[in-house]
Amino acid sequence: MKIYHITALAFSLLLSACSTNKETLSASQAQEHAELAYLPLLTVASTNATQGGYTAQLSDKNGTPFTATVNKEKLGESYTTLSKGDTVKIIGDYTDNDIVEIDAERIVFIK
């Protein structure tokens, strides 16, 4: 009986790990999408949890710093978490300050 219980638990963990909301495209596929082509390709440096989601510190290929605010309520079912080293394009409202701030509406992972 224990073997079945462990197998069932492992299977359910595998299913939950596979059911992710990550939208992933190759770099060339991202360039083909008009809404993504003009956005900077960003690499995640770190994330910090907030009450409604998290903020992510990112940079582009030139080292320009960006901060993205990712809100669970705003993204709804498309909410996903970023990890250090992830490469992404973020659709949202950009505010050009010393550090470019992004209010994320959609996150696309680039492989």
Q: What is the CATH number of the domain that holds 52?
A: 2.40.50.140
Beta-strand (E) ranges in 1-111? 23-25, 42-50, 53-59, 65-71, 87-95, 100-110
How many domains, in total, are found in the chain?
Answer: 1
Backbone angles phi, psi at 53, to 5 degrees: 165, -115
Residue 15 in domain: no
Residue 66 in domain: yes
pLDDT digits (tens, 9 = 90+) for 2-59: 343 333 333 333 333 333 567 777 767 766 667 788 899 999 999 999 999 999 999 9
Domain span at 89? 23-110
Residue 8 in domain: no
Residue 73 in domain: yes
pTM: 0.75
Per-residue pLDDT averaged across 52-73, rounded? 96
81: exposed, middle or buried (Cβ count in 10 Å: 0-12, 13-18, 19+): middle
